[in-house]
Amino acid sequence: MRLFIAMLASLLAACPPAPLETHTDDSVTVEEPSPITWDECSAALGEHACDFTFQDQAGNDWSLYDQYGSIIVLDFSVMWCGPCQSAANQVAAHVSKYADDDVIWVTVLLQDMTGGSVSLDDVQNWQNTYAIPNESPILQGDNSIVDSTGQIGYPVMSYPTIVVIDREMVMYQGLHGWSQEVVEGWIDELLLLDAEANSG
């Protein structure tokens, strides 16, 4: 009996346990599955475009696959090329025309004025010279993205090379050279397909 009383006394003299903390978190985040489900890519029409990441005119990383769901115009240009400069002159009008359609014009500069590497100053100068809006990325590209076969890169064989990618990240059309009418015709075709799909 004495032993029981001694044990009871020692228990009463001990510190009580701290109350258990309970957390209720109503902000459970469920991540959406990635829409990027394919394993292979190429620069062939009808195939999924290959991803790439370059820095833009703000010095931020810009990745192609982050734009899934948008129509994308890729403009592979070099700074010394006259037709590339002509295309650059039309970017602001393009951005304005398709402002409500989630169409992105992306300039990937591959060479500076001397054929060398493209710097942040170069892409900023390109933006200022041609009054390109901030929502139109200008990237510090390089020839690592180019492959004449189209298997491990984009088949840029003349400047500019324009590629239009649909909302599913599929290569829709491509053009070596510059024609505003042709490029806008392709965009309009994709927008028409969108409208038909949404009405059906």
Q: Which has the higher per-residue pLDDT, 21 or 161? A: 161
Closest by CA position to 187, among listed 172, 198, 170: 172
Quick: pLDDT tens for 54-89. 999 999 999 999 999 999 999 999 999 999 999 999
Closest by CA position to 139, among listed 156, 131, 149, 127: 127
Quick: pLDDT tens for 109-146. 999 999 999 999 999 999 999 999 999 999 999 999 99
What are the residues facing 75 on neighbouring strands?
A: 107, 162
CA 47 to each of CA 43, 171, 176, 187, 194: distance values in angstroms, whole numbers, following the listed order: 7, 6, 18, 18, 19
pTM of this structure: 0.82
- d(CA 76, CA 160) in angstroms, rounded, equals 5
